[in-house]
Amino acid sequence: MTIQWFPGHMAKARREIEEKLKLVDFVVELVDARAPLSSQNPMLHQVLNNKAKMILLMKRDLADAKVTNEWIEYFQAKEIPALAVNVNDKSDINRVIQLAKELGQIKLDKLMKKGIKPRAARAMIVGIPNVGKSTLINRLANKKIAKVGDRPGVTKQQLWIKVKKDFELLDTPGILWPKFEDQMVGYRLAAIGTIKDQLLALQDIVAFVITYMKSHYPKLLEERYSIPAELEDMAEIFVQIGNLRGALESGGNVNFDKVADIFLRDLRTGRLGNVTLEHPQEAE
């Protein structure tokens, strides 16, 4: 599966990020805790260059907590501060603010040594679509500012937001990169809902996730869909899920498209359990 998707507003956003980068002290990069490496934008790495940054692993409440901790250690080993975040947990939001203050203070101390008057730290928030950026901004500002949606690509312009008196945040639209060279990256992002479903063969995505879960989370499959560990045939697995969840056509045959919709909805909402689709060992 090769996915190429680069709407005009994303090309424009990249140019604007490059232009505005000099206005900020550090970058807040958001990734999805269920696929922390795949949801990093390699194109942004080129743009950001050596700018100081922190990484927030979003939607930690949907991810495997043990693996999330491994990813935090992975990023910290690369000297990148990282936090796992559930936007509905106030303590997580406070930890984000505290870390941002610490990163911003480094730059402000340098400015003060040069005799420049202290000001609020400035940060740019970046990330791929549908990673929870708008909701996080609203929580940080403690009011509804950024437009929130459950589909990729809701934010399409830049916006400055004040976070208490601690720092100012420059929002940017979510940006995907022009082409996924690694097919597995495309599958992971599709599974967690980063790529619009209309662009994909959803049955292929579900088959990929089921195969991964049979290796890493077989108990979750058994608990949710009564799929025994020894069942390997993917068509039979789809039939099992379809019969269990009533995804049937007239005549009683299982509708595989409905099965795919049901499975992805269960995965994305956490009904299937806490699942992370890649491990730090795979990154190395």
* Residue, of 154 and 183, whose pLDDT is higher: 183
User: What gap in Å lies between CA 100 and CA 18, rounded to an integer?
Assistant: 21
**What per-residue confidence (pLDDT) applies to 80?**
93
Phi, psi at 147, each rounded to 5°: -70, 135
DSSP label of 228: -
More confident residue, 70 or 164: 70
Both tokens assigned to 182: 């690694």
Band the pLDDT of 148: cuts 50, 70, 90: very low
Q: Is the pLDDT of residue 6 over 60?
A: no
Residues forming CATH 1.10.1580.10 domain(s) in the chain: 201-283
pLDDT at residue 149 in the model: 42
Q: Say what the pLDDT of residue 28 is.
A: 92
User: Would you place residue 155 in the very low, low, confident or very high pLDDT band (cuts 50, 70, 90)?
Assistant: very low
Which of 86-90, 96-100, 142-146, 191-195 is the least confident region? 142-146
Please, which pLDDT band fits residue 224 given cuts at 50, 70 and 90?
Answer: very high
pLDDT(257) > 50:
yes
Which class is 201-283 in CATH? mainly alpha
Q: What percentage of the chain carries pLDDT values higher than 90? A: 50
Q: How many CA atoms lie within 13 A of 142 on its CB side?
A: 9
Please tell me the predicted confidence (pLDDT) of residue 182: 78
The pLDDT of residue 243 is above 80: yes
Q: What number does CATH give the domain 8-171?
A: 3.40.50.300
pLDDT of the residue at 223: 96
Residue 93: closest CA among 155, 148, 135? 135
* DSSP-based helix, strand, coil % in the chain, nearest 5: 50, 15, 40
- Overall average pLDDT of the 13-30 stretch: 83
Residue 123's φ and ψ, nearest 5 degrees, are: -130, 150
What are the beta bridge partners of residue 31? 57
Distance in angstroms (rounded) separating the CA atoms of residues 163 and 185: 33
- Confidence label for 277 from pLDDT (cuts 50, 70 and 90): very high
Residue intervals in the chain for CATH 3.40.50.300: 8-171
In the chain, alpha helices (H) = 8-20, 42-48, 65-77, 90-113, 133-141, 183-192, 202-216, 218-225, 234-245, 256-269, 280-283
Which tokens go with 211?
Answer: 């195969």
